[in-house]
Amino acid sequence: MRTWSHEAVYEFFPEVRERAVRLVFECRDEHPSQWAAIESIAGKMGCTSPTLLSGVRRHERDTGQRDGQTSAETQRIKELEREVKELRKANEILKLASAFFAQAELDRRFKS
């Protein structure tokens, strides 16, 4: 049976991550700063403060509270990069095939 570290639970289960981020915003007024709230919640959720901070920043970008790339934009860029990579491979294959068939055609003409 696999045992999970607290950090792994936070990373692999979005509902745990979302709850931790939500708690930071709900408890913000009870602490002198956002960082103090993050440190408090991170200790209770079993993740590190920097990890929770990155989740809070991501939430802020996704909700328009902070400038920067949203999670959806980041995902779309990854998808486009993957597609470009596949298209470049396909293009290279087509170039090689074209050169092969052009050479075969030249060889056929010379033999005739």
Same domain, 64 and 78: no
Total structural domains in the chain?
2
Same domain, 23 and 59: yes
Same domain, 61 and 85: no
Phi, psi (5° rounding) for residue 100?
Answer: -60, -50
Owning domain of residue 40: 1-68
Same domain, 27 and 75: no
Residue with tokens 């709230």: 37
Domain CATH for 30: 1.10.10.10
State pLDDT tens for residues 61-89.
Answer: 999 999 999 999 999 999 999 999 999 99
Overall size of the chain counted in residues: 112
Residue 53, CA distances (Å) to 18, 34, 49, 60, 105 in order:
12, 9, 6, 10, 63
Same domain, 45 and 79: no
Same domain, 58 and 102: no
pTM over 0.75: no
